[in-house]
């Protein structure tokens, strides 16, 4: 039977991951096996989010989605 919540091998982008619902979502998805790319404006808070995640290979990517010119390509 397929587990619909199994995320092993999946890369997931979570915006707003430096606090609140975004942080909780990133942590939860890591517990389901996903590899998380945590995006937000505050590098220190993103690093804290990543430190709370399970597994490895997660990344903290600080940038503001409102500033389109600064979004890494």
Beta bridge partners of 11: 35
Q: What is the strand order of the sheet 35-40 is part of?
A: 11-15, 35-40, 59-62
Residue pair 65/39 in contact by the 8 Å Cβ criterion: yes
What tens digit of pLDDT does each residue of 16-54 get? 999 999 999 999 999 999 999 999 999 999 999 999 999
Is the pLDDT confidence value at 66 over 90? no
pTM: 0.87
In whole angstroms, give the CA distance from residue 36 to residue 50.
8
What are the residue boundaries of the structural domains of the chain, listed by start?
15-64
For 39, the enclosing helix (H) or strand (E) is strand 35-40
């Amino acid at each position: 039977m397929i587990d619909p919540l199994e995320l092993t091998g999946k890369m997931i982008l979570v915006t707003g991951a430096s606090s609140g619902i975004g942080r909780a979502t990133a942590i939860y998805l890591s517990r389901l096996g996903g590899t998380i790319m945590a995006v937000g404006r505050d590098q220190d808070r993103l690093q804290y989010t990543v430190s709370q995640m399970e597994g490895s290979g997660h990344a903290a990517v600080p940038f503001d989605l409102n500033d389109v010119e600064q979004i890494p390509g």
